A = this chain, B = another copy of it.
């Protein structure tokens, strides 16, 4: 599929105002493909295309635009058209959109939206960001336990058109309490006269509405489910989270972790769609504290002015020595942050990890220290090169251990370990590295 190839045709149809052609474009293409082609047009033109098809089709296509494009598009709609669109959207997608709109605008819109949808929106908007409640959809298929498989299939047929998935069916008791699940595959395989109560699975894996989205990802990922039910504190079913939303979250979280590791505040849109000033701001908030950390190195060097002036060659190797600590530290921090993230946590003993890093640090330190010694021989006498070599060794051990300790410490304090970015680890190891270097020098010289 080469969606870009369709764009010229579409532009021609727009220029000729070929309504029949535009209607066909919307109706025949897969909605995600249509969205991809339309994303190349300005907002006004997107609506000129979409207004030729049914509202439900418009919404199907609209939901495949990324959030930034959706926001651009709704800016062109009056309140009335926007409220129709919101009504028709699936519950989870519309809450994502409303969360990004001005809250005055949302309050202005809500009165125009049908009662049932409005209370659904208010409910979903009330869940904290990144909770299971905020990412779930309320359009699940549910049935009572006391009907036959034949009747279940009959009822599912009626529910199907406005359910996000009918492949998992949730069996609800009194007060919407979640009693079991059955998959469409099981229904197809079961005898038509069997009762759902007899074929349903009763040990249901579910998440709580206030669980963090990372927990939802973990559970759905571990069990290979298509969807996972979300319940409240009384085990009443309130929604489901589907596999496609989990996939989006995993990618979002990976982006966030990567940004944090690089000392950038996570972006909400893609890099190219984020305004320059926002990017500068999201970087500046980290660069400024890092600058204050960096200035500490000048204070440290001032303390050792005496030995540095007496042995001017020491200065030659300052950048090299501190780089070694920063590199080893970045590696450990990266390994630990990934290990603490989504999947590998659980059986984690901080002390054991530090011991591991100490061992790895020593084996790497000895190798690099030797290499450092040999390379320094190009510049200075062996007794001086010894100082550089042993500093490299100690600095690598220090970097490895510190890079591992800090993310664990952040985790223990209830903070995101990924805040311990590579540049931050490097800054701290610069300071400690200098202290080690000058102390070794003072000791030996």
Contacts and interface: CB of A to CB of B under 8 A. Distances in A.
Interface stretch (A110-118, A181-189, A233-241): A181-189
Interface string A20-61: 000000001110110010000000000000000000000000
Given A188-B157, A434-B319, A331 B262 contact: yes
A194 interface: no
Contacts of A76: none
B320 A287 contact: no
Interface stretch (A77-85, A119-127, A172-180, A290-298): A290-298
Interface in A286-341: 286-288, 290-292, 294-295, 297-298, 301-302, 305, 308-309, 312, 315-320, 322-324, 326-328, 330-331, 333-339
Interface stretch (A94-102, A276-284, A409-417): A276-284
Interface stretch (A10-18, A132-140, A142-150, A248-256): A248-256
Nearest to A427: B323
A253 to B, nearest CB: 8
A125 to B, nearest CB: 23
A360 B364 CA distance: 37
Interface of A: 1, 28-30, 32-33, 36, 64, 153, 156-157, 160-161, 166-167, 184-185, 188-189, 201, 203, 205, 220-224, 226, 243-244, 246-248, 250-251, 254-255, 257-259, 261-264, 267, 270-272, 276-277, 279-280, 283-284, 286-288, 290-292, 294-295, 297-298, 301-302, 305, 308-309, 312, 315-320, 322-324, 326-328, 330-331, 333-339, 342-344, 347-348, 353, 356, 359-360, 363-364, 367-368, 371-372, 375-376, 378-379, 396, 421-423, 426-427, 430, 434
Contacts of A342: 251
B32 A323 contact: no
B326 A426 contact: yes
Quickly give the copy total for this chain: 2
Contact of A318 (B185, B286, B319): B319
B259 A335 contact: yes
A367 B297 contact: no
Contact of A334 (B29, B246, B258, B430): B258
A131 to B, nearest CB: 19
A407 B184 CA distance: 47
Contact of A335 (B248, B271, B423): B271
